[in-house]
């Protein structure tokens, strides 16, 4: 059951390619942004790191402003590969020493899938937040999630992640975080 349990001391949030021009083409892009914002705030409150990838930002645009304003610019990594597991990203994740990677972003069946596959090969446990990833089509979204589950990723939701990390309600963190998920 350890595979399905999140602990803040071992967690890392990876935000993949939530960029202006990509989001504009996504089905449920607004939901993805809102749920990613919740997870970014949870990471801040619970003090675990967030890493961000941007796919060719000169052409696709930067991370959407409503997320970019919440994130540490030192943890942004540009890429031109579909996988987010570039040398720089893998080095940053290794340096952070976390083994459980919570993933949000676009597109479920492309960059999210290829990044997850590479992280699993490297021995990381990956949690795909199904209400914080998306694709342009429902068919590709569903196919991506199915492949991700078959690869060994844990398919979850924003609230499952939040409450698994919190563990209990009798904490000041719960009061802060509960406001985010109403």
Q: What is the CATH number of the domain that holds 159?
A: 3.40.50.850
Query: Tell me, what's the pLDDT at 15?
Result: 99
Task: Please list the active-site residues.
Answer: 17, 79, 111
Q: Report if pTM > 0.85.
A: yes
Contact (Cβ atoms closer than 8 angstroms) between residue 38 and residue 158: yes
Does residue 97 come out as left (phi exceeding 0), alpha (psi in the -120 to 50 range) or beta? left
Distance CA 162, CA 181 (A): 9
Query: Which residue range is the domain that position 86 belongs to?
Result: 2-181
| Total of domains in the chain | 1
Query: Tell me, what's the pLDDT at 149?
Result: 99
pLDDT > 70 in the chain, percent = 99
Query: Does 40 have pLDDT greater than 90?
Result: yes
Residues 6+ apart with CB under 8 A from 75: 49, 50, 51, 52, 92
Query: Does 123 have pLDDT greater than 90?
Result: yes
| pLDDT band for position 171 (cuts 50, 70, 90) | confident
């Amino acid at each position: 059951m350890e595979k399905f349990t999140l602990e803040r001391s071992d967690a890392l949030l990876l935000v993949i390619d939530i960029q202006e021009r990509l989001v504009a083409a996504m089905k449920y892009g607004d939901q993805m942004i809102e749920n990613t914002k919740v997870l970014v705030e949870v990471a801040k409150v619970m003090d675990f790191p967030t890493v961000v990838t941007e796919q060719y930002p000169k052409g696709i645009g930067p991370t959407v402003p409503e997320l970019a304003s919440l994130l540490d610019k030192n943890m942004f990594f540009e890429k031109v590969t579909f996988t987010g597991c570039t040398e720089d990203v893998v080095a940053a994740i290794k340096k952070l020493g976390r083994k459980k990677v919570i993933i949000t972003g676009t597109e479920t069946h492309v960059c999210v899938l290829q990044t997850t596959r590479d992280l699993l090969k490297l021995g990381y446990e990956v949690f795909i937040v199904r209400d914080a990833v998306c694709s342009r089509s429902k068919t590709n979204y569903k196919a991506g999630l199915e492949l991700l589950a078959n690869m060994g990723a844990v398919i979850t939701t924003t609230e499952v992640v939040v409450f698994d990390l919190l563990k209990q309600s009798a904490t000041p963190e719960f009061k802060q975080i509960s406001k985010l998920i109403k």
